[in-house]
Structure 1
């Protein structure tokens, strides 16, 4: 869920906002102490904005509250006086000797929450991001090690059924038994988080049990938050029950369920440590559309030799609704590969020429999606403005200071300025990533990427011919930069 508040910079609004944050936090699973800590951090921040950001003038600021099963993120944006918190660091020595408490507020906030990020956006103002995680019991706190590692023996038969909230503990146990602590989606180790996301309808899936009732397979689709597509993003088969056709059974059921729900498409993020998941996706009609470099932190995959570097993924997409043709603005340097990707999806891409030099007006609309744990950020361009270049530069500078490992920019292919935007991003060190079909608001996007750690392409394994062409293009661009 996402809540957006637009507020005047007046002292009388501070307490109602803080009270709302506190109440919402308790409702979402925080203890009273944790909710109080988050509310205090927000209180400290918006008080500073109201009292100091606009001087004698009255201004406005926005509060955007984003929730997930594991955390609450609060994004505060304002257009007040320029301010650099890095120049206002708290010093105990200054406080004692000089009575100078400059920077104390930010220090308090950092101690109360899990993540606190400041992003300077130039003329678009300042953005503060506060994130606090919800403490749920880990599956290892609920069961003994023997209960978690006991492997179901041979089965007479397998039964598949839709996942329900009652399956949450069995799913978490299955994940732990199969992956130990290495499964990248940490929420899957917390039954309470699984229950919540199922209850809210943010995912659907299937579970496979043997004749004695023990769970040996699980596969789910996570619904996109801003488009009518889903990710086949959670899958596990118990080690002793692999090779029995369980994966095939579950994939077929999920595709049928997705079609029945009216989804426009499904996508998968297949790791490039091995090609197994890519081959499975290809078997069911998924087509490779992008190669996203260094998207996940390094994880050791048992049974596979791979270099200790960040994990790249291939985006595989399965259309569920026919689109015979799309009219798009294809950047010249990528027109060929994008047409080929579209063709693999059964779509004819008609390139719209830009006959006149078109300059966007107004302000650029950017949606920043940060993954604090994975240390990456996705910038979604919703609309271009005349400040596009400066917005990108300011965002990059802010993210680099936060030691983000990879920045990915999604450019809308239904806007003519995308042809120019590609060249602006190339000057900033970005390279091609691929097509993200229907990824935001049922629109197609071109993804560009910039990674900040070296990658050995010999350990980035791709399966399909299209993925191999994308990999060669990216490697060539990175070599020439």
Structure 2
């Protein structure tokens, strides 16, 4: 396991600086113990980001600098390229014909997308921008530890139930990692969307950093029979409940319920504001689990999950493959005293319905302010595994609408995202002013994200790069069905207002 390391290198925006950057990046990849060809690919991707700064961040003849920040930990390598120049222009750097990549003929940002596990664009207003790249350290997958008993089956009745016995539900320990990966494989085969679940060493590392807080159910022989986790990338104050699975031989014994209770206790001990979960709509089982624990519907995410995820024994023969829609549920753990909400008039009624379900007092404000002069702050992330981008508005400025448009163009046109989410700050009186511009860019209503932003709640919007067949969306909760109808109507309204393609 590599030793922790953090370093920064600041260089002038000159082509002569790129070989120096390459040498530094090569040493970072070596410190992270990345093997070839992954190490060379990451170096090329990060160097491409540096070349984009040299070529495009500053006006011709303008002196500037960029900083390459490297971090190595147990999970792999993080590289951030920071500058104080102009925002990325997808039209200039996204095409190999208009702007050939310095290190590859395939185009700059396309190369970056293929070479790393996670890419995040952070637009910091007057402080410039940052492109953050993450490459996880390769580790041995669970596939070398599987036997015939681990093979997934289409019908859980084909698996003999384990004898009745006592189970322990407790916090994850490193020795449990292989058992967790095997449990995931038994249920999902190779189709589960969280790749880390198939790599025991990654599960251990993520639990050590706190980005995962795993709970396991262990049988009398000490074997892992189930797993549930809080997912906290960036150690945020709101975590996602996920990676929930029970081995088929141990179902029907309330292990999922016991682990869910332990997860809620863990969230309280961590001091989290709240926890959320997404329930698939290819079936209603996970929705009903959330209902049984009193979680509240706060949104419906169209096409949130990948189309290739398999649900053993739950798919209808010949079912049309499409991205999976999610119902989003939320539970407060340590709620704020009240929510400060500047809701756009168009969505005020449905937002009130969502907050009524959440049971939190709301300080409603009808006034709407124009964005203040100056730069806002926008955080842009891309999830390669889900082909999904997220644009978070952290501070509204008079350039924020243009930043949102530019970020959406980058995510759809360059990285190839299929879904992009947009979070607007409900606590900011200038937040509602962004809605009209966002709708002009194709974004429509999704729901509310309680405490999803540093300063409060988010008005969540979404935009899709595909059409969705609603006949394959199955929802149990009456309000969630009503919310889906609202979202569908809003999508149709926004799409009808888009200019005709030329």
Shorter-chain TM range is 0.7 to 0.9
Match of 1:148 among 147, 150, 169: 150
Aligned to 2:29: 25
Trace 1:269-418 onto structure 2 (pairs within 5 A).
Answer: 269-298=278-307, 299-304=309-314, 305=316, 306-354=319-367, 357-402=369-414, 403-418=416-431
Aligned to 2:485: 472
Trace 1:174-193 onto structure 2 (pairs within 5 A).
Answer: 174-193=183-202
State how far apart, in whole Å, the 2-side matches of 1:457 and 1:404 are: 21
Trace 1:185-334 onto structure 2 (pairs within 5 A).
Answer: 185-225=194-234, 227-298=236-307, 299-304=309-314, 305=316, 306-334=319-347
Are the counterparts in 2 of residues 89 and 103 from structure 1 also a CA contact under 8 Å? no
Alpha carbons of structure 1 residues 86 and 412: separation in structure 2 relative to 1, 3 Å: closer
Aligned to 2:142: 139
Runs (5+) with no aligned partner, structure 1: 91-100
Q: How far off its partner does 1:282 sit? A: 1.6
Are the counterparts in 2 of residues 324 and 346 from structure 1 also a CA contact under 8 Å? no
Per-residue CA deviations over 1:295-345 (Å, capped at 9, x if unaligned) read: 121123222235311111111111012344222111101111112211211
Are the counterparts in 2 of residues 231 and 266 from structure 1 also a CA contact under 8 Å? yes
State how far apart, in whole Å, the 2-side matches of 1:428 and 1:52 are: 24
Alpha carbons of structure 1 residues 164 and 28: separation in structure 2 relative to 1, 3 Å: farther
Are the counterparts in 2 of residues 328 and 414 from structure 1 also a CA contact under 8 Å? yes
Q: How far off its partner does 1:221 sit? A: 1.1
Alpha carbons of structure 1 residues 465 and 225: separation in structure 2 relative to 1, 3 Å: farther
TM-score, length-normalised on structure 2? 0.82
Greater shift, 21-30 or 287-296, is seen at 21-30
Q: How far off its partner does 1:75 sit? A: 4.8
Aligned to 2:156: none
Aligned to 2:174: 165
State how far apart, in whole Å, the 2-side matches of 1:24 and 1:456 are: 46
Secondary structure in 1 matching 2:105: helix
TM-score, length-normalised on structure 1? 0.85
Aligned to 2:39: 35
Residues matched between the structures, number: 468
Greater shift, 49-58 or 170-179, is seen at 49-58
Q: How far off its partner does 1:203 sit? A: 1.6
Aligned to 1:85: 93
Runs (5+) with no aligned partner, structure 2: 153-158, 497-502
State how far apart, in whole Å, the 2-side matches of 1:52 and 1:332 are: 40
Q: How far off its partner does 1:133 sit? A: 5.0
Alpha carbons of structure 1 residues 134 and 160: separation in structure 2 relative to 1, 3 Å: same
Pairwise CA RMSD of aligned residues? 3.5
Greater shift, 1-10 or 196-205, is seen at 1-10
Per-residue CA deviations over 1:146-204 (Å, capped at 9, x if unaligned) read: 26349773232212221111111111111112221122211100111111101212222
Are the counterparts in 2 of residues 175 and 236 from structure 1 also a CA contact under 8 Å? yes
State how far apart, in whole Å, the 2-side matches of 1:52 and 1:335 are: 41
State how far apart, in whole Å, the 1-side matches of 2:202 and 2:467 are: 35
Aligned to 2:500: none
Aligned to 1:94: none
Greater shift, 164-173 or 69-78, is seen at 69-78
Alpha carbons of structure 1 residues 288 and 6: separation in structure 2 relative to 1, 3 Å: farther
Matched, 1:46 2:59: no
Alpha carbons of structure 1 residues 327 and 181: separation in structure 2 relative to 1, 3 Å: same
Per-residue CA deviations over 1:221-280 (Å, capped at 9, x if unaligned) read: 112426312111111101121111111111111111211221111110111111211111
Q: How far off its partner does 1:386 sit? A: 0.9
State how far apart, in whole Å, the 2-side matches of 1:320 and 1:173 are: 31
State how far apart, in whole Å, the 2-side matches of 1:314 and 1:332 are: 24
Secondary structure in 2 matching 1:107: coil
Alpha carbons of structure 1 residues 252 and 29: separation in structure 2 relative to 1, 3 Å: farther
Secondary structure in 2 matching 1:105: coil
Per-residue CA deviations over 1:415-470 (Å, capped at 9, x if unaligned) read: 11221111211222211100001113262101011111111122222232332221
Q: How far off its partner does 1:20 sit? A: 5.0
State how far apart, in whole Å, the 1-side matches of 2:327 and 2:7 are: 33
Q: How far off its partner does 1:145 sit? A: 3.2
Q: How far off its partner does 1:113 sit? A: 8.0
Aligned to 2:114: 114
Q: How far off its partner does 1:131 sit? A: 5.7
